[in-house]
C-alpha cells in the first residue's frame, strides 16, 4: 500500500460546479498536511495547508479526518483556471527527520 | 513571498557527462532542502534530503554516488548527476523548508535530457 494515495482522475467538471476528492495516508503519526497544485510541466505550488478543524480559502475547502486517515479538498464554483493536478502532501517524522510524502495527484479538468 | 530559484531550467547533456543543478532560496534561509524527480505523468519522488553542513540523506534506491548533493550554505544546494544516462532524463525539482516553519517552497524545476 502506498503511503499516500489519491484517485488519479481525471475529474471532468463543468464550469461552475463543485468537485471534491480525497487523499488517504497510511502513517497514523503524520503531523501536517497540505494541498499543492501543479500545472502541466511546472513546479508544484502550495494551495493550502490542512488544519485539524478544517479550513477554507475562498472557493477551496480542506478537511482532515484523522480517524479514517484522509484529507479532502473541495472546490466550489469551478473555474476553467482550476484545471490542474492537485497533490496531497503529508509530513511525518521519519528516521532522517521530517519527511514529505506526495500523493500521485488528482487531475481536474474544468470544462465550459 | 518566499522564492526558490532553480538553475538551469533546461539542460541537454551527452551520455557519460555530469550536470549540476542549483537550488537557491532567494529571500529566506533554509536548513533543509529536498530534491525530487518526476517522470512524465507520475508524481514527485523524493530523492534525498539535504541538510546544510552535513551529508544528504538519500531515499532507498537512489544512488548517492550518482546523484551528488551538496548543501554548503543556508541558501544553496546543488545536485550533480554524474555519468548521466538517457534513463536519467527527467524533471528535477528542489524545494526548501523555511527555517522557522513547515512550509515548503519549490523551485521552478529543471528539465534534464540526456542524449
Q: A39: which chain B residues are within 8 Å (Cβ-Cβ)? A: none
Q: Does B90 touch chain A (CB under 8 A)?
A: no
| pLDDT band at residue B15 under the 50/70/90 scheme | very high
pLDDT value at residue B90: 95
Q: Tell me, what's the pLDDT at B30?
A: 85
Q: What is the 3-state secondary structure (H, E, C) of chain A?
A: CCCEEECCCCEEEECCCCEEEEEEECCCCCCEEEEEEECCCCCCEEEEEECCCCEEECCEEEEEECCCCEEEEEECCCCHHHCEEEEEEEEEEECCEEEEEECCCEEEEEEC
> What DSSP element (H or E) covers B70?
strand B67-73
Lowest mean pLDDT among A14-23, B41-50, B76-85: B41-50
The whole-number pLDDT of residue A2 equals: 78
Write out the three cell numbers for A68.
479514517
Average pLDDT over residues B65-94: 94
Chain A CA closest to residue B1: A46
Between A3 and B82, residue with greater pLDDT:
B82
Q: What is the mean pLDDT of residues B30-57?
A: 87
Residues A17-61: tens digit of each pLDDT: 999 999 999 988 888 899 999 998 888 888 999 999 999 999 999
Contacts of A32 in chain B (CB under 8 A): 102
- Of A48, A52, A53, the C-alpha closest to A86 is A48
Determine the Cα–Cα distance for residues B43 and A19; give it in Å rounded to an integer.
Answer: 21
> Which chain B residue shows the shortest CA-CA distance from A6?
B43
* Whether residue B39 has pLDDT greater than 90: no
Q: Are the beta carbons of A98 and B46 separated by less than 8 Å?
A: no
pLDDT of residue A95: 60
Rounded Cα gap, residues A26 and B54, in angstroms: 30
In this predicted model, what pLDDT tens digit does every residue of A58-110 receive, in sequence order? Answer: 999 999 999 999 999 999 999 999 999 999 999 877 665 667 788 989 999 99
**Average pLDDT in the B74-89 region?**
95
Mean pLDDT for chain B overall: 90
pLDDT range class, residue B29, cuts 50, 70, 90: confident
Nearest neighbour of A87 by CB, restricted to B43, B49, B109: B43
- CA-nearest residue of chain B to A92? B102
Which residues of A lie inside 8 Å of B (Cβ-Cβ)?
Answer: 32, 34, 41-46, 49, 87, 89, 91, 96-105
Indicate yes or no: CB of A32 within 8 angstroms of CB of B108. Answer: no
Least confident among A11-15, A82-86, B53-57: B53-57
Quick one: average pLDDT of A2-30? 94
Cβ-Cβ contacts under 8 Å, A45 against chain B: 106
Amino acid at each position: 500500500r502506498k503511503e499516500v494515495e489519491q484517485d488519479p482522475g481525471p475529474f471532468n467538471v463543468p464550469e461552475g460546479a463543485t468537485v471534491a476528492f480525497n487523499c488517504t495516508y497510511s502513517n497514523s503519526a503524520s503531523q501536517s498536511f497540505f494541498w499543492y497544485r501543479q500545472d502541466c510541466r511546472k513546479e508544484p505550488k502550495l494551495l493550502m495547508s490542512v488544519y485539524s478543524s478544517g479550513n477554507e480559502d475562498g472557493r477551496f475547502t480542506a478537511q482532515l479526518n484523522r480517524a479514517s486517515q484522509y484529507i479532502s479538498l473541495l472546490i466550489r464554483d469551478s473555474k476553467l483556471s482550476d484545471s490542474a493536478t492537485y497533490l496531497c502532501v503529508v509530513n511525518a517524522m521519519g528516521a532522517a527527520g521530517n519527511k514529505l510524502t506526495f500523493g500521485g495527484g488528482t487531475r481536474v479538468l474544468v470544462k465550459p | 513571498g518566499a522564492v526558490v530559484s532553480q538553475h538551469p531550467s533546461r539542460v541537454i547533456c551527452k551520455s557519460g557527462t555530469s550536470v549540476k543543478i542549483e537550488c537557491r532560496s532567494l529571500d529566506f534561509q533554509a536548513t533543509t532542502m529536498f530534491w525530487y524527480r518526476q517522470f512524465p505523468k507520475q508524481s514527485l519522488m523524493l530523492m534525498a534530503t539535504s541538510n546544510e553542513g552535513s551529508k544528504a540523506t538519500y531515499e532507498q534506491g537512489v544512488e548517492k554516488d550518482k546523484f551528488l548533493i551538496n548543501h554548503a550554505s543556508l541558501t544553496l544546494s546543488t545536485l550533480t548527476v554524474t555519468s548521466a544516462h538517457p534513463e536519467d532524463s527527467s524533471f528535477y525539482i528542489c524545494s526548501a523548508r523555511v527555517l522557522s516553519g513547515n512550509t515548503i517552497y519549490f523551485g521552478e524545476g529543471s528539465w534534464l535530457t540526456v542524449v
